[in-house]
Amino acid sequence: MSIVQYENRNGIAVIAMNNPPVNSLGYALRVGLMESIDQAMDDAMVRAVVLTGLPKAFCGGADISEFAAGTFSLAPRLFDVITTLDNSPKPVVAAISGACMGGGLELALACHYRVTLADAQIALPEVHLGIIPGAGGTQRLPRVLGLEPSLNAIVSGATQPAETFHGTPLFDEIVTSDVVTAAVAFAGRIADVRPLKRVRDMKVEHPNADGFLDFARQQVKAAFPRFPAREKCIDALHAAVHMPFDQGIDYETELCETLMRTSESKALRHVFFGERATSKIPDVPPDTPVRPVARVAVIGAGTMGGGIAMCFLNAGLPVVLLEMKQEALERGIATIRKNYENSARKGKLSTEKLEQRMGLLQGSLSYDDLKSVDLVVEAVFEDLGVKEQVFRKLDEVAKPGAILASNTSTLDLNKIAACTRRPEDVIGMHFFSPANVMRLLEVVRGARTGKDVLATVMGLAKKIRKLAVVSGVCDGFIGNRMVHQYMREACFLLEEGALPWQVDRALEKWGMAMGVFRMNDLAGNDVSRLVRQRQYVEYPDMKFSGIADKLCDLGRYGQKTGAGWYRYEEGKRDPQPDPVVETLIVNHSQEMGISRRKISDQEIVQRLIFALVNEGAKLLEEGIALRASDIDMVYLAGYGFPSHRGGPMLYADNQGLYNVLRAIKRFGRGTPAPDLWAPAPLLVRHVAERKNFN
> CATH no. for residue 438?
3.40.50.720
Q: Which of 7, 35, 66, 126 is catalytic?
A: 126
Are residue 436 and residue 517 in the same domain, yes or no? no
Going by pLDDT thresholds of 50, 70 and 90, the confidence category of residue 397 is: very high
Are residue 489 and residue 559 in the same domain, yes or no? yes
DSSP state of 401: T
Q: Which long-range contacts (CB under 8 A, 24 or more apart) does 71-76 make?
A: 71/26, 71/27, 74/27, 76/30, 76/31, 76/33, 76/34
d(CA 262, CA 226): 11
| pLDDT of the residue at 84 | 96
If phi > 0 it is left, if psi is from -120 to 50 it is alpha, else beta; for residue 646 that is left
Active site residue 603: no
Are residue 197 and residue 231 in the same domain, yes or no? yes
Are residue 668 and residue 569 in the same domain, yes or no? yes
| pLDDT of the residue at 573 | 84
- 285 lies in some domain: no
- 269 lies in some domain: no
Domain boundary, last residue among 260, 286, 317: 260
Are residue 162 and residue 310 in the same domain, yes or no? no
Are residue 554 and residue 667 in the same domain, yes or no? yes
Active site residue 106: yes
| pLDDT of the residue at 69 | 64
- 694 lies in some domain: no
Domain containing residue 668: CATH number: 1.10.1040.50
Q: What is the pLDDT of residues 31-84, one digit of tens each?
A: 999 999 999 999 999 999 999 999 999 999 988 888 766 667 788 999 999 999
Domain boundary, last residue among 471, 499, 530: 471
Are residue 558 and residue 635 in the same domain, yes or no? yes
User: pTM to 2 decimals?
Assistant: 0.92
Q: Which of 35, 106, 173, 442 is catalytic?
A: 106
Going across the sheet that includes 99-101, the strands are: 57-59, 99-101, 121-123, 160-161
Going by pLDDT thresholds of 50, 70 and 90, the confidence category of residue 570 is: confident
- 556 lies in some domain: yes
Residue-wise burial string across 216-254, b where 16 or more C-beta atoms lie within 10 A, e elsewhere: bbeebeeeeeebbbbbbbbebbbbbbebebeebbebbbe
Return the amino acid letter for 404: L
Are residue 405 and residue 533 in the same domain, yes or no? no
The whole-number average pLDDT for the span 486-502 is 97
d(CA 219, CA 227): 13
d(CA 66, CA 74): 9
Sign of CA dihedral 606, 607, 608, 614: positive
Q: What is the pLDDT of residues 655-664, one digit of tens each?
A: 999 999 999 9
d(CA 84, CA 33): 10
Indicate the number of domains in the chain. Answer: 3
d(CA 138, CA 202): 13
Are residue 465 and residue 525 in the same domain, yes or no? no
The whole-number average pLDDT for the span 337-347 is 95
Domain containing residue 62: CATH number: 3.90.226.10
Are residue 131 and residue 235 in the same domain, yes or no? yes
- 270 lies in some domain: no
Are residue 209 and residue 349 in the same domain, yes or no? no
The whole-number average pLDDT for the span 203-223 is 94
- 271 lies in some domain: no
The β-bridge relationship of strands 121-123 and 99-101 is parallel
Q: Report cis status (omega within 30 of 0) of the bond before 195.
A: yes
H helix intervals, 398-439: 413-417
- 496 lies in some domain: yes
| pLDDT of the residue at 654 | 96
The whole-number average pLDDT for the span 133-161 is 97
Is the confidence at residue 514, as pLDDT, over 70?
yes
Return the amino acid letter for 324: M
Q: Around Cβ 633, how many Cβ atoms within 10 Å?
A: 27
The whole-number average pLDDT for the span 158-167 is 96
Contacts of 138 (CB under 8 A, 6+ apart): 132, 150, 154, 233, 236, 237, 239, 240, 248, 252
Domain boundary, last residue among 234, 260, 286: 260
Show the domain range for 131. Answer: 4-260
| pLDDT of the residue at 70 | 64
By three-state DSSP, how is residue 541 classified? coil
Least confident of 54-68, 196-210, 486-500: 54-68
Are residue 544 and residue 658 in the same domain, yes or no? yes
- 286 lies in some domain: no
Q: Is 469 in contact with 278 (CB distance < 8 Å)? A: yes
Percent of the chain with pLDDT over 70: 99
Is the confidence at residue 673, as pLDDT, over 90?
no
Least confident of 56-70, 349-363, 421-435, 640-654: 56-70
Q: What is the pLDDT of residues 121-138, one digit of tens each?
A: 999 999 999 999 999 999
